Each structure stands twice: as structure tokens, then as C-alpha cells.
Amino acid sequence: MSLSFDLVPGTVRTSVQRRREILRDPGFVTHFSDHMASAQWSSQAGWTDSRVTNYEPWTMSPGSAVFHYAQEIFEGLKIYRHEDSSIWLFRPEMNARRMIRSAHRMDLPQLPEEDFLASVHALARVDHEWVPSGSEMSYYLRPFMIADESFLGVHSAKQARYAVVGGPAAPYLADGLTPVDIWVTTTYSRAGNGGTGAAKCGGNYASSLLVQREAATFGCSQVLFTDAADHEWVEELGGMNFFAVTADGMVVTPPTSGTILDGITRDSILTLAPALGLTPQVRPLSLSELIASILGGNIVEAFACGTAAVVTPIGRLLHTKGEEVETVALASPLGEATRAIRRALVDIQWGRADDVHGWMHQVVV
């Protein structure tokens, strides 16, 4: 039977004045909206207790499995306000399906697609006033699931919690349009064959934090990871997929092959590219080819993409070459292809272009 996420009576709301203040300058979800959707799971009872409550702290046993062995997964999707004030989700069924794949990899319970969709629609409906208007502004939803059974043996929990929280969001990197610098690491790895790279689990992000801080010391806002075995093949950034654009209009991204997150933005860009006169190419891209092609003028643009990052142009790649740090600058950081891809995507998301692929789902408030 499907879950229903009903609002419990008696929740409280932030004053209109305070909400407006937050919406004016939200950062990237520095404030959560008033409510959250949640549900509980146990191996005996399955999914129960689905509801929408105030966004509020949880009481949990310090022995909960998630605190010790990181049995956790999450998703990220946005709500977009269109000019007529209606609010919309972008391909939410893709997030639901990816969460099922992540749950499988982390041996957590699978939340059926329809229940995932019901939970995000329910929170969107209740907190619709928190969806900002204005260009580049959105409301970011964060569905997640944790193992909350209390024990210290290393085995899968028989008890879990699912919740959706969220809040207003400005672009994740810079202003979304200014090119960012990227630190290429050949020291640290994000994912290896057979590991958890294709799952959206917290551990992947925890292990990226040290090198992310190293990147910041070089003025870089994200890290580009290479394959764990040889550090030769370009994979993805800590929280975004990677694309390079050649001078003759190829948009190149590596195959996901188990170590890279199967980004919904990545998939959408591969779908949109041909209509923009660009040729999508999913193929292995070596770091040596990438650098040589940028220096030789064959790769002219590069960008990061993801729900949070949208399409963020890359200005320069910094990497270690022997004892030195080499800076490799893209010829056209916010070039024509990056602009065209970005525009095609955001115009669909914000309702300014025909949604020919049927990607947008209206939230009925």
C-alpha cells in the first residue's frame, strides 16, 4: 500500500517577514523551511509513520548504525518557481530510481518510487511559500535515509528512517555563471571499482573533504577526481559531473561505469546537446588528453554540472606536475556551447521553454 504524507495538525510557521528576509539572500540552503516529510522502516513492519511535521531535531541513540558505519544515502532535487507563480519539479522520478539503486548498494530498504514522489510533493505543497522567485533561485530538496538501529556489530540495520528536508537555494558555486577553478587530484580517490562511487552515499562526500580543503588553498572551489587505479582517467568532481567541449562541437563526458554518479543533469545535457548542434560523446577521457587538448586548443570549454551546480563553467584546471603546480586555462571558459547548454536546461526548468521531453512535474498547491 502506498504511503501518505499528511501534515500533522498544529505545526508552526516562520513569520512572513522573517521568511522574506531569508528568501532575499538564502545562500545554498543555509536555512531550512518550516516542515519535513519523514517515515520509519523496520524489517518486521516495513514502511510506517509517514507524515509531514515541523522541521525539528530528532532524538536518536548514540549507538545508531549511521553514526558508526555510515549506512546512509541521500538525494538532491530542486523546486522551480515559474513566472506564473506555479512550482515544478525536474525529473523527480529519476531521483527516486537513483535512491533505490543507492539503497541497494548500501543495503538500506528501498523506498518505492511512488512513495518518494509522494514525500517530495507533500513537502513542496506544505512549504510552497519557501520557493523563491527570481533567476537562478530555487528550493533544494534533500531526501535522505539513515540506519538508526542501535548496535555495534558490523551488519545491516533492521531499522531505518527516511526524511525530506530542504530550503531556499542560490547557485552552489559562485554566481553560477562566473567560471570557477578546479583542483585535479592524482593523490586522493573518490571511488574505486566495486566501491560506492555510483551510489549517493554520505561516505563518498566525507572522503572528499580533506582534498576539497587542499583545493581551497589553491583558490579552487571543487576537486576533479581521476580513477583510483592509475589516476589517469578523468571521473567527476566531488559533487558534480564533468564535461569538456571540443573546438568542433563535441561535448565529452566519461562513462559512469560504476565509479561515477549517474547525474540527472548529465543525462539531460546528453539529451539536449544534438538540438543545439553539439555532438554528445560518452567516452573515457584521460587526464593527459584533457590537458594536452586544452593546451593545444582542441578542448576549448569545460563545465561542471549537477542539480546544485546547474551548469558551472570552468576557468582553469590546476594540477601537480612533478613538484610544481601547473595551471591550464580553458580558451573560452563561458563559451558558446556552455552558454547554450546552460540556457537550454534552465529555460526548461524555469518554464521559459517548451518541455518537449516531459521532464517537468507541477506541484499542485
Kindly state whether residue 109 participates in binding ligand COI, applying the rule CB under 6 A: no
Comparison of 3 and 244: residue with beta carbon closer to ligand PLP: 244
| Candidate ranges 64-72, 125-133, 209-217, 302-310; the one touching ligand COI (CB under 6 A) | 302-310
Cell of 160: 531505518
Q: Which of 26, 76, 167, 168 binds ligand COI (CB under 6 A)?
A: 76
Considering CB distances under 5 to 8 angstroms, the limit depending on partner class, which of ligand COI, ligand PLP, none binds residue 289?
none
Kindly state whether residue 197 participates in binding ligand COI, applying the rule CB under 6 A: no
- The answer to whether the Cα torsion of 233, 239, 240, 244 is positive or negative is negative
Q: Which of residues 230-289 bind ligand COI (CB under 6 A)?
A: 239
Q: Which residue is nearest to ligand COI (CB)?
A: 76
Comparison of 179 and 202: residue with beta carbon closer to ligand COI: 202
Q: Which of 304, 308, 334, 341 binds ligand COI (CB under 6 A)?
A: 308
Burial call 261-291: b when 16+ CB within 10 Å, e when fewer: bbbbbbebbbebbeebebebeeeebbbebbb
Comparison of 33 and 95: residue with beta carbon closer to ligand PLP: 95
Least separation in angstroms between CB 223 and ligand COI: 11
Strands 279-282, 250-253: pairing kind: parallel
Kindly state whether residue 180 participates in binding ligand COI, applying the rule CB under 6 A: no
Three-state secondary structure readout of the chain: CCCCCCECCCCCCCCHHHHHHHHHCCCECCCCCCEEEEEEEECCCEEEEEEEEECCCCCCCCCEHHHHHCCEEECCEEEEECCCCCEEEECHHHHHHHHHHHHHHCCCCCCCHHHHHHHHHHHHHHCHHHCCCCCCCEEEEEEEEEECCECCCCCCCCEEEEEEEEEEECCCCCCCCCCEEEEEECCCCCCCCCCCCCCCCHHHHHCCHHHHHHHHHCCCCEEEEECCCCCCEEEEECCCEEEEEECCCEEEECCCCCCCCCCHHHHHHHHHHHHHCCEEEECCCEHHHHHHHHHHCCEEEEEEEECCCEEEEEEEEEEEECCEEEEEECCCCCCHHHHHHHHHHHHHHCCCCCCCCCCEEEECC
| Candidate ranges 105-113, 183-191, 209-217, 306-314; the one touching ligand COI (CB under 6 A) | 306-314
Comparison of 76 and 109: residue with beta carbon closer to ligand PLP: 76
| Candidate ranges 39-47, 146-154, 303-311, 328-336; the one touching ligand COI (CB under 6 A) | 303-311
Least separation in angstroms between CB 349 and ligand COI: 13
Least separation in angstroms between CB 76 and ligand PLP: 5
Contact map string, positions 20 to 59, toward ligand COI, x by CB under 6 A: ----------------------------------------
Kindly state whether residue 143 participates in binding ligand COI, applying the rule CB under 6 A: no
Kindly state whether residue 351 participates in binding ligand COI, applying the rule CB under 6 A: no
Q: Which of 307, 312, 338, 349 binds ligand COI (CB under 6 A)?
A: 307
Comparison of 27 and 296: residue with beta carbon closer to ligand PLP: 27
Kindly state whether residue 310 participates in binding ligand COI, applying the rule CB under 6 A: no
> Using alpha carbons only, how large is the chain's radius of gyration in Å?
21
Q: CA-CA distance, 225 to 77, in Å (whole number)?
A: 23
Binding footprint of ligand PLP on the chain (CB under 6 A): 76, 236, 239-241, 261, 263-266, 306-307
Comparison of 269 and 278: residue with beta carbon closer to ligand PLP: 269
Comparison of 164 and 300: residue with beta carbon closer to ligand COI: 164
Kindly state whether residue 306 participates in binding ligand COI, applying the rule CB under 6 A: yes
Residue numbers of the site for ligand COI (CB under 6 A)?
Answer: 76, 239, 306-308
